[in-house]
Homo-oligomer: A and B are copies of this chain.
Amino acid sequence: MPPAETTVTLPKAEIPRSWYNVLPDLPEPLEPYLTPDGQPVKPEMLAPIFPEALIEQELSPKPRFDIPEPVLETLARWRPTPLTRAAGLEKALGVRSRIWFKNESVSPSGSHKSNTAMAQAYYNKAAGIKRLATETGAGQWGTALSIAGQAFDLNVRVYMVRISLEQKPGRKTVMNLMGAEVLSSPSDLTEAGRKAKAENPGTLGTLGLAISEAVEDAASRPDTNYSLGSVLNHVLLHQTIIGQELKKQFKAGGIKPDYLVACHGGGSNFGGMAVPFVPEIKDGAKISLIAAEPESCPSLTRGKFAHDFGDAAGLTPMLPMYTLGKDFQPPAIHAGGLRYHGASPIVSALVKSGMVKPEAIGGPELFRYASLFARTEFIVPAPESAHALAAACMKALELEQAGKPGDIVFVLSGHGLLDLSAYEDFINTY
C-alpha cells in the first residue's frame, strides 16, 4: 500500500505580493556589467531590447518590487505551488531523512519558467511592445513565453537549440499550438546564425548561440524586445516567489531544512529558491544551499569567475560570472536547459562567497534516481530537475550513513512529459 501523502499547501491569499531583491543583501556588491571595451554598462544601453521596468529591476538596489495585479492574477492560476513529502522515495531509498519537493511542474508550461514569463510579457505589453524574440534550450522557457504571449497578447518567436528541437519535437508542437513561431538555431535569419553555420555546418547549436540570434532579432526591430528565461537579475527576482512560498510552507509544516537543492543551468530556478534565504543564512541559519549542475557543462564547479559574454556572438554585455567560455560546446545531454556556458551573476557571487555549494551530477545514477522518483511519486521529472532530485537523494543517503537524518528540500522545476526521449534512451541502455 502506498504511504499516505503529506502536502503543505497554501491558500491563494498567501501568494507573495512582492518580489524579493537580493542585490542589497549580497555579501559583496555585484560587479558591474561591462561593455566589450571594459566600460560599465549604462541602463540606456539596454533599452533597445528591454522595457524600462525590467531594466530598473535588473539594476536597482530597491529591496522589494510589488507584483502588478494582472501578473498576480495570472500567477494565481497555479500558485501557490504545493510542497510535497516524497515519502515513497524515502522508503525506497531506506532513509530516515524527510525529502520534500516544491512542485513547480504544475504551472501551465509545466515548469517554473512561467513565473517570469508572465511578468516579462506583462511589462513588455505595458511598454507598447508587439513582439518578443527569445531562445530556448529544452523548450521549457519557449513554452512558458509562448503561453505568456497568449496571456498578454504578444507575438512570440523562439530560436530553439537545434539538438533539443531534434530530441523533443513535441515541444515545437506545443509552442506552435500556443501561437508561437519556432525556428531551429542556428537559423539562416540572423547574422549570428549564418556565421555559426558557415563556421561549423554540423553544429548542434548552443543556448549561447540561440541567445545571440534572439538578441539580434530584437535589436533590429523597433516593435520587438528580447526576453531571457534565466541568468539575469530581473529573472531571478521574478523567481523569488518560489523561495518566498517555501518560507511560509516551512513555517506551516514545521520543516527546518538542512539542505535546499535545485538544479542550475542559467540560475533562475536555483536562485529563485535560494536567494530569499540569504538574509537568514547571513544571520547564522544552518541551511546548505546546493546548486546541482551537469557534469558535462560544469560552469560553477569547473568554470572560472570572469567577465564574459552571455551569448556566443558577443552581443550581450559582459557579465561577472562563472563561465566555461562563450565558445564552450557542451555535449548533447538531454537536460537541454542546463547546457549553458555561464551562470547567473547573483548565483556566481553567492558561490564565490561560499554561501552556495555547487555539485556536478551525471552518469546513469541520474536517471536511476529519476526512475525511482517516477515509480514512487508518479511524476516524470524533467531531466533538468532530475539533477536536483539525484543530489537530494545522495544527501539523504549521506545523512543516513552519518546517522543524522534531517529535512532535505528540492525544487522539482518541471515535469518531463515532453522530454521522454531522455527516458527512452535510459530504458534502452540500462
Contacts and interface: CB of A to CB of B under 8 A. Distances in A.
A108 B152 CA distance: 30
Contact of A152 (B1, B109, B170, B173): B1
A76 interface: yes
A176 interface: yes
Interface in A383-430: 417-418, 420, 423-424, 427
Contact of A427 (B147, B177, B379): B177
A289 to B, nearest CB: 29
Interface in A142-175: 147, 150-152, 169-170, 173-174
B77 A424 contact: no
A235 B179 CA distance: 38
B420 A378 contact: no
A191 B220 CA distance: 66
- Interface SS majority for chain A: helix
A256 B174 CA distance: 34
B375 A424 contact: no
Given A108-B378, A417-B170, A177 B371 contact: yes
A73 interface: yes
Given A2-B70, A152-B1, A375 B179 contact: yes
A218 B362 CA distance: 41
Nearest to A427: B176
A376 interface: yes
Contacts of A73: 1-2, 4-5
A123 B106 CA distance: 30
B177 A374 contact: yes
Interface string A69-108: 0100110110000000000000000000000000000101
Interface in A98-131: 106, 108-110
Contact of A173 (B2, B375, B420): B420
Interface residues of A, number: 38
A380 interface: yes
Contact of A5 (B4, B77, B418, B423): B77
Contacts of A427: 173, 176-177
Nearest to A9: B12
Name which of A2, A77, A376, A423 has the most chain B CB atoms within 10 A of its CB: A2
A178 interface: yes
A174 B70 contact: no
B420 A174 contact: yes
Which 10 A/B pairs are nearest by Cβ-Cβ distance?
A108-B378, A170-B420, A173-B420, A1-B70, A417-B417, A2-B151, A173-B424, A150-B375, A4-B73, A147-B378
